[in-house]
Amino acid sequence: MADLLSIRDLRIEATAYPPGEPPQNIVIVDGVSLDLQKGKVLGLIGESGAGKSTVGLSAMAFGRGGVRLTGGTISLNGRDIRPLTPAALRKLRGREVTYVAQSAAAAFNPAKQLMEQVIETSVLHGVMSRAEAEARAVELFRKLGLPNPETFGNRYPHQVSGGQLQRAMTAMALCPKPDLVIFDEPTTALDVTTQIDVLAAIKEAIRDTGVAALYITHDLAVVAQVSDHIMVLRHGKMVEYGDVGQIINAPRMDYTKALVSVRGIEHEEKKPADPVLTISGVTARYRGTNFDVLKNVNVDVAPGQTLAIVGESGSGKSTLARAVTGLLNIREGEVTFAGRKLSRELKDRTRDDLRELQMIYQMADTAMNPRQTVGTIIGRPLEFYFGLKGAEKQRRIQDLLDQIEMGKGYADRYPAELSGGQKQRVCIARALAAKPRLIICDEVTSALDPLVADGILKLLLDLQKQEQVAYLFITHDLATVRAIADRIAVMYRGEVVRYGTKTEVLTPPFDDYTDLLLASVPEMRLGWLEEVIAHRKMESAGN
């Protein structure tokens, strides 16, 4: 069979404008070739900056943000589309090739009903009449498992959940009966329990409509469920290209092997001990509301150990962190820390309370002042809590930089000059500088690529060994939990539904929610998705 899409020696360039320097030409993608047949799915995988989205978008000869497709051929349905005029490309986009974006919430127009937007391209391109398009949209809504398919299109984007919106976007892409759909990280922004539904829906829709697809993601376990072939990209170059079974079970290149075996951290569970932090009977609500976001939470953390708080978004896990730090006033219950009862108000807490309880944020980008150097960021707690100055402070800053494995020459840099992983390391150093007894880690690895996240987790474990610091580790990622936790608390709608040591929590029998949560974590083997869908006990909350 002839290839639907065939890309040869693709070269993509862009112009970079580094501050204070003349513009530079940079090569984003170099020498990538791929083939895709009708009805097949090709997974494009790589970490951020690998050029996977750029390659994906090139299938409709589109370069995002000033990116130029400068070399190679992109032949779609037998003709090279790279040299086509904008007018010719407009006819092709949204008809032969369609696109599903990562954040459906940002991609939909909030002022228009869903139906209007789902059928827009089909009607615009004259593929079908309005009535036909609407009928097809309802059909697709049904196929994608959306509730009340007949009336679903009358809703506005804010009236449906994130997972449903992502499926509506898939319906939009499939509506004009395209030959090729580009999925750009369609499930990355969703909770694991929601992701699985969307994933299953997408997979089924692809199979039923016989469309070809490019599936872009950074999660190998996800792509293994939906694709026939996988291409691994790194720094704009192809690393490995092969059958899905071969990539997962017998990767040839070192980089692919690292991706497949990521999350291989083994962590011995520590014995229970007297707690350093006790949260007892905590109930809290946000000001001006009458809904408890935390309901009678009882957990504790032992010195030098890790308590992982797990749950999907909206389960109250970050709120718990805010209650412990005093940013949110609790209504009932109390928090005891290092033998002292912590005041509910942040302003009434002693300097030692503040020093010994540090926090690391999910987004290292916004957690550091972009106008302060790394030296200032790490040095401030030293100065503030310990009164260190001059050479002594500089020495301590360097010690801390060594501890986070960053070495010399970083103290004078600004956050913008660091990579994502380095930024998070600096945040860890800032927390460490205060010599804390407990660090609250709020989704510290969620925004990072898997290999980088792995490095951060290893660092945290090493530091825990050296400094005997306890972690309150908030995450939605169960693989991370397995890697780092001593105790686990599973939260669901503001309540702790399961709590105990790691082995207790992760050993059956499970309650329904924990079962769903555990089953939803993508596993890196073929056929996992079908198994889970067939066996699970309850629907996800976001559904």
Partner 1 sequence: MRRIPLSALIGMILTGGFLFCAIFAEWVAPYGYDEVLGKVWESPSSTYLLGTDTIGRDILSRLIYGARITIFVALAASILSFSLGSFLGFLAAVRGGWIDQVLSRLVDVVMSVPSLIIALVLLSVLDINLTVLIFVIGILDATRVFRLSRAVAMDIAVMDYVEAAKLRGEGQSWVIFREILPNALSPLVAEFGLRFIFAVLFISTLSFLGLGIQPPLMDWGGMVKENKDALVYGKSAALMPALAIALLAISVNLVADWVLTRTSSLKGGRGG
Nearer to partner 1, 251 or 415 (CB): 415
Give the range of 41-49, 120-128, 296-304, 412-420 binding partner 1 by CB under 8 A: 412-420
Which of the stretches 86-94, 159-167, 365-373, 518-526 binds partner 1 when contact is defined by CB under 8 A?
365-373
State the Cα–Cα distance between residues 221 and 247, nearest whole angstrom. Answer: 11
- Burial class of residue 37 in the structure, from the number of CB atoms within 10 Å of its CB (0-12 exposed, 13-18 middle, 19+ buried): middle
**Comparison of 447 and 497: residue with beta carbon closer to partner 1:** 447
- Output 227 or 475, the one with its CB closest to partner 1: 475
Q: Which residues contact 23 (CB under 8 A, 6 or more apart)?
A: 15, 16, 17
* CA separation for the pair 20, 28 (Å, rounded): 22
Q: Which position among 171, 192, 367, 481 is part of the footprint of partner 1 (CB under 8 A)?
A: 367
- Interface segment toward partner 1; rule CB under 8 A; list 131-139, 376-384, 457-465, 508-516: 376-384
Residues 6 or more apart whose Cβ sits within 8 Å of residue 19: none
The piece of 144-152, 161-169, 345-353, 446-454 that touches partner 1 (CB under 8 A) is 345-353
Instruction: Give the x/- contact pattern for partner 1 in 85-114, rule: CB under 8 A.
Output: ------------------------------
Out of 84, 354, 447, 533, point to the residue binding partner 1 (CB under 8 A).
354
d(CA 315, CA 306) in angstroms, rounded, equals 20
Work out how close the CB of 320 gets to partner 1 at its nearest, in angstroms, rounded to a whole number. 15
Q: Judge contact between 317 and 311, C-beta under 8 A.
A: yes
With binding defined as CB under 8 A, does residue 414 bind partner 1? yes
Chosen residue from 369, 466, 468, 507 binding partner 1 by CB under 8 A: 369
Q: Which one-letter DSSP state was computed for residue 225?
A: H
Kindly state whether residue 386 participates in binding partner 1, applying the rule CB under 8 A. Answer: no
- Establish if 365 lies at the interface with partner 1 (CB under 8 A): yes
Tokens standing for residue 73: 């051929």
What residues pair up with 100 in beta bridges, in sequence order? 183
Choice from 202, 434, 457, 483 touching partner 1 (CB under 8 A): 434
Exposed e or buried b per residue across 510-533, where buried means at least 16 C-beta atoms within 10 angstroms of its C-beta: beebbbbbbbbbbebeeebbeebe
Considering only 129, 366, 468, 507, the residue that binds partner 1 (CB under 8 A) is 366
Judge if the upstream peptide bond of residue 509 is cis by omega within 30 degrees of 0: yes
What is the dihedral angle through the alpha carbons of 533, 538, 541, 543, rounded to the nearest 10 degrees?
A: 50
Q: Give the 3-state DSSP-derived string for 459-513, with helices as H, strands as E and coil as C.
A: HHHHHHHHHCCEEEEEECCHHHHHHHCCEEEEEECCEEEEEEEHHHHHCCCCCHH
- Please work out the total of residues on this chain that contact partner 1, with binding judged by CB under 8 A: 33
**Residue closer to partner 1, measured from CB, 361 or 473:** 361
Of 86 and 370, the one with the shorter C-beta distance to partner 1 is: 370
How many distinct helices (H) and strands (E) make up the chain? 23, 20
Site for partner 1 in 18-77 (CB under 8 A): 19-20
For the bound state, the minimum distance from the C-beta of residue 259 to partner 1, rounded and expressed in Å, comes to 23
Cα–Cα distance, 171 to 164 (Å, whole number): 10
Site for partner 1, rule CB under 8 A = 17, 19-20, 325, 327, 346, 349, 351, 354-355, 358-359, 361, 363, 365-372, 380-381, 384, 414-416, 418, 420, 423, 430, 434
